[in-house]
Structure 1
């Protein structure tokens, strides 16, 4: 299984970085001219100058809730249902339209392996000439089509099992003898349990590509105990494949078609390597050219490279959600406000707002790592808290490295009993 999908996976990190940032200016310019939403979002940006991570980090982050709001307002006005984010229009170049909860609409494309899932399937051991039993949904959401298009790009045949009808899934697997399963891990466990109940063996199913929900090590080991090597991937309807697991089982390797940054929640500021933050993804897909798209998911970069020889950056995988907005004494407090407060003081290296007490009787405690503590710093921070949030809060200054590395900018420690 150590054979790589293509040479892109093993090129040097410097070669990859140079290639991606040579392509990025064209993608930014393309988004500005072909995706009307980015005409506004990137107004005044010199696309030719976006040739480095530092330059990319100066562009605004567009988060999923903002994309949804723009789509909704555009639809309400009788305009583009995609909110100006798609470079494609209805017609032969857009064979399907999908819907994700919200509702967010996503365009399909005639481009081969449009969501780039073949790379993840290959890393999971799927090969040309095999049958793939696809149990992701084909209804409304693109998950089924995402996996099917990747399997076809590998040269596989696909059985579109979809969701539900567990006994029929077992029967089809027993009779068609697929090489493996793709779908959610929970549904695979249901199928395996049902097969045991029906006293039907599924010896051909020796591998699985699972996604859409967590697959903890205990469940992965349970699959292994039933002869199935299950691998995870991290993908979204907007971006396609973002990262995938390899046989090394050491984090997830980033896909070759995206540029990933990890930023402090509520900001667009990249964090230090290894620090937990929000995944912000720039896709090199010209049909749906999302530039600095905030996924709302937390993760962190792992040091070093994958033992399988794949040289791209690895991330830890999904570590929670970055949207930590809370309501305190009737007022919403956002991660971006915590960042605004911290930016006012060059001494503050990292900040965390802890909300404690009981609902309707809560209190805010602003914890800040400080490189130095000049006299009156805590008082000035307290005044900034009041100015930004319109609420009062206490201030605790701590030594650098004292705050947890968990991606939390706001910790809700209140009792909800």
Structure 2
């Protein structure tokens, strides 16, 4: 491995190794600037402040800031549909850089600020450097992942191959015919590429030049990380973020959790009250990014985690998130997409011959598997149903139609997440 990848001096922001006191002061200044802009121009934020009878002039500390009610992810879709996207913006839509669409549909605006999504810091920590040639396997179509993660690479000085997802033979051909040193995508897909290459008679260490990967959109079992790192002789580091707010946390060379990004204020809060919890307790991840065009102040992600403040030998002083430990509500995230039971029910309602249904998610050998069990009252066109489901949910399920005396319980939950992690 290139020794420059392990340099601890390649910080993107001076806040990365600042004292806790300096970091807190920096964060308070930044988030109050965001809150001030939102109070001037965002109908959503003004309404939230008014409902809680809060005057921003009374917010003088981070503890005061936590008095602002959270904005929950599960409510964001309804707000966009009922009030319109403009109600949440501080800039006219035409003055944005891009607008993406996530399933729902939920719109994800991108402003014109430099490094808007804030991933550059995480890529540097992972080991990406000027001159790397990086293969991007996230989608560039409507959803933000591809472009969201390409721009920080270009800011660092990397070249990017916008490969997008799928077409594994072409992915392997690109990696072996060009000096590709970096990979961005899902670890499970990098494993698929490795298996294809082996079956084609390729040597993963001799025929590939990969040395670093930045992965996201799915949980990363340590067994899968070790398998891929050993196979290619490379480093695999993960980041955590959402299509709403961008980067939240990322791994450094030393592992042991994901450092909080300096481009947002992160709290671990009681899911019921929205109030911050003490260090080490498990709660909901609540984020205030420093972005101004689409100010999501105290945005409750629905993800559960806990914070640890053990010093890290990489030199970064930000606390770490100890992984994503589950979901607050009954939604689930599979291959980077959230599955909402209400959306599944919406598809099912268009097929009256379906009496009951249940989504079951497992993760055999590190790969997420989405299964859909159906109990029918009449004949069903499987292809038509799969097309409708995939069009709405953006994921293709393994369909199981119950037969004979099989039946789903009347009170069966619409979604069961059976995934386990080490």
The verdict on a shared fold, with TM-score over 0.5 as the criterion, is yes
For 1:298 and 1:221, locate their aligned partners in 2 and report how far apart those are by CA, in whole Å.
25
For 1:249 and 1:157, locate their aligned partners in 2 and report how far apart those are by CA, in whole Å.
26
Q: Does 1:221 align with 2:226?
A: yes
The Cα shift of 1:61 comes to: 0.7
The Cα shift of 1:199 comes to: 2.1
> Could you tell me whether the CA contact under 8 Å between 1:67 and 1:83 is conserved in 2?
no
Q: 1:118 to 1:223 in 2, by over 3 A?
A: same
Query: Aligned residue for 1:189?
Result: 191
For 1:188 and 1:88, locate their aligned partners in 2 and report how far apart those are by CA, in whole Å.
39
Query: Aligned residue for 1:330?
Result: none
The Cα shift of 1:22 comes to: 2.3
The Cα shift of 1:324 comes to: 5.7
Moved more, 167-176 or 263-272: 263-272
Query: Aligned residue for 1:58?
Result: 67
Query: Aligned residue for 1:149?
Result: 151
Query: Aligned residue for 2:389?
Result: none
How many residues are treated as equivalent by the alignment?
Answer: 320
Q: Does 1:165 align with 2:167?
A: yes
1:89 to 87, 92, 95: 92
Q: Secondary structure at the match of 1:84?
A: helix
Q: Secondary structure at the match of 1:42?
A: helix
Q: Does 1:308 align with 2:314?
A: yes
Q: Does 1:11 align with 2:14?
A: no
Query: Aligned residue for 2:180?
Result: 178
Query: Aligned residue for 1:264?
Result: 270
Q: Does 1:31 align with 2:38?
A: yes
For 2:289 and 2:58, locate their aligned partners in 1 and report how far apart those are by CA, in whole Å.
18
TM-score normalised to the size of structure 2?
0.73
Query: Aligned residue for 2:244?
Result: 238
> Could you tell me whether the CA contact under 8 Å between 1:112 and 1:153 is conserved in 2?
no
Q: Secondary structure at the match of 2:87?
A: coil
Q: Per-residue displacement from partner, 1:182-227 (whole Å, max 9, x unpaired)?
A: 0011111111111111223443111100000011100010012111
For 2:28 and 2:208, locate their aligned partners in 1 and report how far apart those are by CA, in whole Å.
46
For 1:171 and 1:51, locate their aligned partners in 2 and report how far apart those are by CA, in whole Å.
56
Query: RCO (CA 8 Å, sep 6+): is it higher in 1 or 2?
Result: 2
Query: Aligned residue for 1:318?
Result: 324
The Cα shift of 1:309 comes to: 0.8
For 1:314 and 1:109, locate their aligned partners in 2 and report how far apart those are by CA, in whole Å.
27
For 2:195 and 2:38, locate their aligned partners in 1 and report how far apart those are by CA, in whole Å.
48
Query: Aligned residue for 2:200?
Result: 198
The Cα shift of 1:3 comes to: 2.5
Q: Secondary structure at the match of 1:16?
A: helix
> Could you tell me whether the CA contact under 8 Å between 2:86 and 2:93 is conserved in 1?
no
For 1:114 and 1:98, locate their aligned partners in 2 and report how far apart those are by CA, in whole Å.
14
Q: Per-residue displacement from partner, 1:267-318 (whole Å, max 9, x unpaired)?
A: 2122221110001111111122111100000000113232211011111011
Which runs of 5 or more structure 2 residues have no equivalent in the other structure?
1-5, 332-412, 417-422
Query: Aligned residue for 1:102?
Result: 104
Query: Aligned residue for 2:124?
Result: 122
For 2:111 and 2:137, locate their aligned partners in 1 and report how far apart those are by CA, in whole Å.
22
For 1:314 and 1:175, locate their aligned partners in 2 and report how far apart those are by CA, in whole Å.
38
Q: Per-residue displacement from partner, 1:84-125 (whole Å, max 9, x unpaired)?
A: 22223232x323210112211011233222111111111111
Aligned positions of 1:246-395 closer than 5 A: 246-323=252-329
The Cα shift of 1:20 comes to: 1.5
